[in-house]
Amino acid sequence: MGIFDFIYRRRNEMMQWSAEMQMNFSENDDYGLRDQIDCFELIDQGSARRAKNIMVRGHEMDDFQECIFDFHYATGSGDDSVTHKTTAIFINSKSLMLPKFFMRPKNKLGKWFQRLRGKNQGPSDKEQLQYNYKIRLEDDQALDFLINSGIHNILLADSIFYLEGNGHYLIIYDNHKLLNMNQILNMRMTAHHIFDYLKANSWYV
C-alpha cells in the first residue's frame, strides 16, 4: 500500500469512527487544537508537527471537551528523516486543576537498570508507581496528589500509556503507534477513568 493510499484509508476510518461515536470530524486542525496542546511534551518533539484526523466532542469554551486525534512529527533530516505517528486523547475540562506532570511507562531495560542500581519495586503505591513509570513533576507535593487521586490503580494495571496533565488539560497516548478502533475505545475508557479520579481530587479542591 502506498503512502497516499494509507493516508486516504486512515482519514476515512477516523471519519467513520467519529460518526459512530457521535463526534465531529476534521482532517486538519480546524478546531485550534494545536494551540491548546502546545504545553505537552508530546508536542515538543521533532519538526513538522501536526494534528490530523481530529474527532471532537464539545468546544474549548465548554465545561468538557474531548478530542481524539493522530499526531505526526519528524526526526532527523534528508534521507535519515523518520516520521513518527501516535494516536492521542485530549480532555479539556473546567472541572480539572492539575499540577504539570509527565508520565511514561518504563520498558524492561529501564527497570533492569533500576534494579542494577539497587532500586527495586517497593511495597508502597508511590514506590510501585515510580518503579513502573518515569515521572516528571513540579514538586513532590504533585506526586502526592497523583497518588492520592488513585490513578496509580489504573496505570499499574495497564502500564502502556503515556499521561500528561497541566491545569484544565489532560492527554493520554500510546507513543509511536496509530490505534485502531478497538484500541481507541480501550484507551478512551482508561482516559475517562483517569479523568474521573483526577476530577474528584482536583489540585485546588
pLDDT at 205: 44
Mean pLDDT of 95-105: 91
For residue 53, is pLDDT > 60? yes
More confident residue, 121 or 175: 175
Task: For residue range 125-174, list pLDDT tens digits in order.
Answer: 888 888 888 889 877 788 888 888 888 888 877 778 899 999 999 999 98
pLDDT at 96: 92
Asked if 37 contacts 90 with a C-beta cutoff of 8 angstroms, the reply is yes
Mean pLDDT of 81-99: 90
Asked if 100 contacts 166 with a C-beta cutoff of 8 angstroms, the reply is yes
Cell of 11: 482519514
Query: Residue 93, exposed/middle/buried by CB under 10 A (0-12, 13-18, 19+)?
Result: buried
Mean pLDDT of 9-32: 91
pLDDT at 11: 93
pTM of the prediction? 0.86
What is the rounded end-to-end Cα distance, in angstroms, of the chain? 51
For residue 184, is pLDDT > 90? yes
Q: How would residue 46 be classed by pLDDT, with cut points 50, 70 and 90?
A: low
What average pLDDT does the structure give for the chain?
Answer: 84
- Which helix (DSSP H) or strand (DSSP E) does residue 149 occupy? helix 140-149
Report the percentage of the chain scoring pLDDT > 90.
Answer: 39
Spatial separation of the C-alpha atoms in residues 129 and 114, rounded to whole Å: 13
Nearest to 151 by CA among 136, 141, 161: 161
Spatial separation of the C-alpha atoms in residues 130 and 116, rounded to whole Å: 15
- Three-state DSSP class for residue 122: coil
Asked if 23 contacts 55 with a C-beta cutoff of 8 angstroms, the reply is yes
More confident residue, 58 or 62: 58
Cell of 154: 489504573
Spatial separation of the C-alpha atoms in residues 37 and 152, rounded to whole Å: 23
